[in-house]
Amino acid sequence: MAERSHFYGMIICGITILTAITFLGGVMRRSYWAVALPVTGGFLGALYVAFWIGRALIATPIEPPADD
C-alpha cells in the first residue's frame, strides 16, 4: 500500500511540475489563457467546495438531543 501511495505522489509531483512549466511559458509569452485558465479552475473549485458543504448540511439528518 505504501508503494502505491509513493507512486501516485510521484505522478502528482510530475504533473504539477509540467503544469508549472506550461503556465510560466504562457506567462512569458504574455498569453491571456495562461492566467485565465488557472483562475477559472480555482474559482470553479471554490464553488464546488461551497456546494459540497451546502449539500452535506442539507443531507445531514437533524436528530433531537437524547434525554438523559
pLDDT, tens digit (0-9, with 9 covering 90-100), for 7-51: 988 999 998 999 889 888 888 888 888 889 889 999 999 999 999
First to last CA, the chain: 44
Rounded-to-integer distance, Cα 16 and Cα 11, Å: 9
Full-model pTM: 0.58
**Tally of CB atoms within 10 A around 26:** 17
Instruction: Determine the pLDDT at residue 46.
Output: 94
Instruction: Determine the pLDDT at residue 27.
Output: 84
**Residue 39 to residues 32, 47, 61, 66: CA-CA distances in angstroms?**
11, 12, 35, 47
Counted residue by residue, the chain has a size of 68
pLDDT at 1 over 70: no
* Higher pLDDT among residues 1 and 49, named by residue: 49
